[in-house]
Amino acid sequence: MSTVRNITTTLITIIMTGVVCSQEAFHNFGDVQIHGKGQIGFHIDVTNDGDFDNNLGKVGFYNDGSLLVSGTKSPVFYDIEIDVIEDMFLEVGVGVVNFQEFINGKVFTPRDQKDISLMYIGDTPYLGESNDRYIDGYASMTGELDFSFPVGDDFRIRPIKIESAAVSTSRAAYFFENPNTPNFFVESFDTNAFDDFLFGVSVFEFWDLDGTQETRVSLTWDSNSNIPTLVNNLEDLRVVGWHKELKKWVNLGNTNFTGNTDQGEITSDVIIPDEYEVLTFGSSTRLLDGDLEIFTAVSPNGDGFNDTFTIQGLAKFPENELMIYNRWGVLVFQKQAYHENQNFAGISEGRATISQKTELPEGTYYYVLKIEGAKDKAGYLYINR
């Protein structure tokens, strides 16, 4: 538990007209300015319907619960400090022009309203971001320097970086969602629709990046990204984008990468973000393992594409055994002499916790393939319904 700070009574130089303060909210419907070395701490909700965008000094948001910023006009502050244990919620954009620090809590913005964001103006830096402190929704920036958007979802930060916004405004959010079934977009992004230079697209996550100027883009991944379902080698990993006009995923390149398949970062070629609806990871090659070709996505919906877990080439190795486990290590499928006529279609054949003939839920699974006289082969597969 943090110590709730109070700077409301120190170094204040404020001009206020048309302001109502109550125990519930600070409501500005006139003109408020913080001058010089002024400091003010908000421990209650803030509603801004007036002018509150010509400020110096420091503004802090402090509460052991949550705080809401709302109104019809965006307040803009010089320095911002956020120490809100149960998170800060924006119903109107909030700007910062000098420095912003995360101390406790996340900043939530409405994912279905892109124009509401925490706005970093003029290359404003920030500090203190972590898996517990980030922007859950949209962040935007205006400036000329490289910038990493401190965005995340599902209790972890997943930054997206741009090299330069070229004196322009860019905006970004991260979605830990299947692109085939997004929650906040009118259209879906079919991961089976991609150009000739790709062989697969992630079904786990995506980013929305908006901007009119050319830039390279860097995406980050962690163990929940399940990169091994796409590639064995990071050289084959690609940034991919859903092209707004072509209505398919296109290869945006791999100019640099760091890390391993559990954690890392990849940088694209130069792109114009506004040409793409969303961005994620893709593969420039099929997952080949010697004489075997392993397709690690299973979508048992009867459309003829990836309806079963296919391992081409097993006819050369009839003495084999396939075992599939769920995320908790429970055996859900086991078959000796696995081949084309016995393909796993997302139905449990386990004998333990999961009843036989049970339709398995969408998610990530782990396979182990044993071949007589060879080293066991293992990896991830994903069921997408």
The 3-state secondary structure of 77-131, one letter per residue: EEEEEEEECCCEEECCCEEEEEEEEEEECCEECCCCCCCCCEEEECCCCEECCEC
- Tokens in use for 120? 């970093």
CA–CA distance, 218 with 327 (Å, rounded to integer): 29
CA–CA distance, 198 with 189 (Å, rounded to integer): 15
- Tokens in use for 282? 């893709």
Asked whether the beta carbons of 329 and 314 are under 8 A apart, the reply is no
Asked whether the beta carbons of 15 and 32 are under 8 A apart, the reply is yes
Tell me, what's the pLDDT at 371? 86
Taking alpha carbons only, the member of 347, 353, 346 closest to residue 331 is: 353
Asked whether the beta carbons of 28 and 44 are under 8 A apart, the reply is no
Tell me, what's the pLDDT at 329? 83
- pLDDT above 60 (res 244): yes
Give mean pLDDT, residues 207-218: 96
Q: Which residues pair with 6 in a beta bridge?
A: none
Indicate the SS3 state at residue 150: coil
* pLDDT bracket for residue 6 (50, 70, 90): very low
Q: Tell how far CA 110 is from the center of its chain.
A: 15
Tell me, what's the pLDDT at 302? 75
- Give the Å distances, CA to CA, from 52 to 47, 60, 344: 11, 15, 60
Asked whether the beta carbons of 348 and 330 are under 8 A apart, the reply is no
- Tokens in use for 322? 């396939």
Supply the pTM of this predicted model: 0.79
Indicate the SS3 state at residue 303: coil
Q: What is the mean pLDDT of the chain?
A: 88
Q: What's the number of CA atoms in the CB half-sphere (13 Å) around residue 375?
A: 4
Tell me, what's the pLDDT at 363? 86
* pLDDT bracket for residue 61 (50, 70, 90): very high
At 292-331, the pLDDT tens digits run 778 888 888 777 677 888 888 888 888 899 999 888 888 8
Out of 2.60.40, 1.10.357, 3.40.50, 1.10.8, the CATH code matching 289-383 is: 2.60.40
- Residue ranges per domain, the chain? 289-383
Indicate the SS3 state at residue 284: coil
Sheet holding 263-271, edge to edge: 147-149, 160-162, 215-221, 263-271, 256-260
Who has greater pLDDT, 355 or 227?
A: 227
Tell me, what's the pLDDT at 5? 43
- Give the Å distances, CA to CA, from 265 to 144, 161, 162, 204, 219: 22, 10, 12, 16, 6
CA angle 115–118–122, rounded 5-degree value: 100
